[in-house]
Structure 1
Amino acid sequence: MPFVRGNQAVVHEIHGARFASYVRPATGSRDLAAWRGEIPAGTVAPEHVISAEEVFYVLSGRIRLTIDGETAELDAGDAAVAPADATLAVSNPTGEPAHFWVTTQVGLSAVLPDGSTITPPWAN
């Protein structure tokens, strides 16, 4: 199944953000997962350590991305790469929602500040 239609995206919500999952094993991908993220205005997601590299591309709005202590505000058209085992934090410092595209490898997990591990369904 090489084509994924918009109405086939599965939406998940966690920590105030929404993730629309398009590419994952259930849609035919063996190695990659990709989703569209939406962070409402003023949302600050918890810092977490990622198990695999993630590539971010901002579609609209602005996000603040911190990777291993280095912070940048990214606007539509900007991209970033977070390496495996990086500490990552995402927030939206503006009054408007932000949308971005993320690609990673299937099997991504993340360790939260309390030590718990999540395996997000949009990446598995």
Structure 2
Amino acid sequence: MPFIRSTEAQVHEIHGVRFHGYANPATGSKEICAWRGEIPAGTAGQAHTITKEEILYVLEGRLLFTLDGERAELRPGDVLLANPGSTLRVDNESGAPATIWTTTSIGLEAVMADGSRLAPPWAN
């Protein structure tokens, strides 16, 4: 299905963040996954190590990204490139919600700080 309306996105919520999955195997994608993440104001992120490259584009708001210990605040139009094996954390310390657009390869997993693995359905 080449056309996916916003009302057809698969919505999932984890760690206080809402993920709207657009491109993934369930919608017909063969290689790439893409989703929109809505991060409420004051949300503390969860550090996780990623198994696939991710590109995160800030659509709205201000987000604090920590990638392998390096921190940067990104605003609309800014991009984070996270390589496989990187440890990533996204925090919204502001008083307003923020939105990001993320792309990755099918099969992404997140290894959490406690060693557990998460295979998010919006990326598998």
TM-score (norm 2): 0.98
Aligned pairs for 1:36-47 within 5 A: 36-47=36-47
Gapped runs of 5+ residues in structure 1?
Answer: none
Distance between the aligned counterparts of 1:92 and 1:43, measured in 2?
Answer: 5
Report the 3-state secondary structure (helix = DSSP H, G, I; strand = E; otherwise coil) of the residue aligned with 1:26. Answer: helix
Aligned position for 1:90? 90
Q: Deviations over 1:73-93 (max 9, x none)?
A: 000111110000100000101
Aligned position for 2:105? 105
Aligned position for 1:6? 6
Q: How many residues align?
A: 124
Q: CA deviation at 1:45?
A: 1.5
Aligned position for 2:74? 74
Distance between the aligned counterparts of 1:71 and 1:105, measured in 2?
Answer: 24
Distance between the aligned counterparts of 2:60 and 2:47, measured in 1?
Answer: 22
Report the 3-state secondary structure (helix = DSSP H, G, I; strand = E; otherwise coil) of the residue aligned with 2:59. Answer: strand
Q: CA deviation at 1:20?
A: 0.4
Aligned residue identity for 1:102: T
Q: Deviations over 1:20-63 (max 9, x none)?
A: 00000111100000000011001011100000000010000011
Q: Percent identity?
A: 56
Aligned position for 2:15? 15
Distance between the aligned counterparts of 2:108 and 2:54, measured in 1?
Answer: 9
Distance between the aligned counterparts of 1:64 and 1:38, measured in 2?
Answer: 14
Shift >4 Å, 4+ stretches: none
CA RMSD between the two structures? 0.6
TM-score (norm 1): 0.98
